[in-house]
Structure 1
Amino acid sequence: MADFSIVPPAPEDEADWRRNWAAYLTRYTVTVEPLTTDIIWARLLDPTSSMRGFIARDATGRGIGFCHLILHDNTWSLQPFCYLEDMFVAADHRRHGVGRALLNRIIDTARENRWARVYWTSWNNNAPARALYDSVTGGADQLVHYTVKLLA
């Protein structure tokens, strides 16, 4: 039995989520305005938002990771697509199955809700994450990701 759980975010997860969010942003050398962080947290708790998420909690209930999902309409299906925008596991909990459990929870939720697709991107130099992703998906698809950054 795992010594962690994967659950939807709840108000009591806020401090741990903020700690992990800050570590995630530091890892990718990204700065996000405090107001943006506040709004992201509010969206994660809002059942009417297109943003969803999960929190990984250790056996004591402490948040050790998270994922953020964006549900959206698409032109290929009447069922929504799910974009996994962010996923993070605290450094001292990596390689213990937390990331795989987060991915499996996302996929199970997608099946339960009849979402047409779950997809995400990864930095090409993030070998540990890509090894996990390859083991879950069978490997990256043929799509190439392009970005036009309009705002910092």
Structure 2
Amino acid sequence: MTTIAALTSADFDEWNPLWQGYLTFYKSEIARDVTEATFVRMVADQELHGAIARDDQGLAIGFVHWLTHAGTWTTATYCYLEDLFVSPHSRGGGTGRQLIEHVCAWAAAAGSEKVYWLTAHDNGSARHLYDKVAEHTGFVHYEMLV
């Protein structure tokens, strides 16, 4: 049975290989000091939040990271699910869905109006799940570095 729990400082050595796998999937690199600072911020559980998924043997198999922000179309907050990753050998067993449900439960308790996220258009395995649990809005994502 998969369990989901808030990240703690003791989780870094198991979380980091998953994080590196996530970055590799998205063909990205992040400096070690940024990775460490991000982890510390998630463990502090104030502006960034994180949870780790463990299998029935206690091995880390996935994670989810999220944050909330104000919105102009609501007096509540929105919850942005920023990162979700399940190790390749654990996919298809419901862990991704459980991680999303964990964030949704957290967001509901925090008073957020909705949970939303982005993914690559060609991330077929993830989109297969996302199409089952959420509505595809049809929006196109743009960004500019500043």
Query: TM-score when scaled to structure 1?
Result: 0.91
Instruction: Tell me, yes or no, if the aligned pair for 1:8 and 1:55 is still in contact at 8 Å.
Output: yes
CA offsets 1:68-125 (integer angstroms, 9 cap, x no match): 1021122122221111111000011000000011011111111222211111111111
The residue type paired with residue 27 of structure 2 is T
Letter in 2 for 1:95: G
CA distance in structure 2 between the partners assigned to 1:60 and 1:13 by the alignment: 15
Determine the structure 1 residue equivalent to 2:48: 51
Q: What SS does the corresponding residue of 2:112 show, helix, strand or coil?
A: coil
Aligned-residue identity in percent: 34
Name the CA distance, whole Å, in 1 between partners of 2:75 and 2:62. Answer: 31
List structure 1 segments (4+ residues) > 6 angstroms apart after TM superposition: none
Q: Which residue of 1 aligns with 2:93?
A: 96
Aligned residues: CA RMSD: 1.2
Number of matched residues?
146
- Is 1:106 equivalent to 2:88 in the alignment? no
Gaps of 5+ in 1: none
Q: Could you tell me which runs of 5 or more consecutive residues in structure 2 were left unpaired when the two chains were aligned.
A: none
Q: Give the corresponding residue for 1:121.
A: 118
Instruction: Report the TM-score when normalising by structure 2.
Output: 0.94
Matched with 1:133 is 130
